[in-house]
Amino acid sequence: MFRDILVAIDPSATAQRALDRAGELALALNARLTVISVAPEVTGSAYRAPVDLASLRREVERETDLLLRDAVDRLPSDLPVTTVLKHGNAGDRIVEQVEAGRHDLLVMGSRGRGRVATNLLGSVAAHVFFHSHVAMLVIQPDDD
């Protein structure tokens, strides 16, 4: 059975549901749980905007770190949790973590955009599915 679960989170409600399911699974299976969140890169073209890029990058990292800390607080206190904060493309960083951490299950949410939007905008879950060889539990959005 699964011994080392990775759950990928972002601020979405579906990702929060994925976190809850991953925590339940880890407890039930007496498995390790790692929570990953990826801070998006501030694009190089942002230099044209009248903003302090270093400050913007720090803010993005701070928000991602806060997301991870809130995730740990949301999980049962008797569940040992490791957090991982990465930077860059979410799909690429999640695939890297799956391999580096030797995880045997990945839990993540799906935005449920539909086929056309996914083809145009991309899908992190689809990227991970096609670029890693780990079992995945994809949590779909609520119907409401």
Considering the chain, what percentage of its residues have pLDDT values greater than 70? 85
133: helix, coil or strand? coil
Identity of the residue numbered 32: R
24 pLDDT exceeds 70?
yes
**What integer pLDDT is reported at residue 119 of this predicted model?**
42
Tell if the pTM clears 0.85, that is, is over it: yes
pLDDT band at 116; cut points 50, 70, 90? very low
Give the strand order in the sheet containing 81-87: 81-87, 32-39, 4-8, 105-109, 135-139
**Mean of the per-residue pLDDT values for the chain?**
87
**What integer pLDDT is reported at residue 49 of this predicted model?**
66
CA 55, CA 35: separation in Å to the nearest integer?
25
**What integer pLDDT is reported at residue 141 of this predicted model?**
84
Q: What is the DSSP string of 1-63?
A: ---EEEEE--SSHHHHHHHHHHHHHHHHHT-EEEEEEEEPPPPGGGGGSSS-HHHHHHHHHHH
Mean predicted confidence (pLDDT) in 132-138: 93
**Domain boundary assignment for the chain:** 4-139
**What integer pLDDT is reported at residue 121 of this predicted model?**
37
Give per-residue pLDDT as tens, 41-78: 877 666 666 777 778 888 999 999 999 999 999 999 99
Mean predicted confidence (pLDDT) in 71-92: 95
Classify domain 4-139 at the CATH class level: alpha beta
117 pLDDT exceeds 50?
no
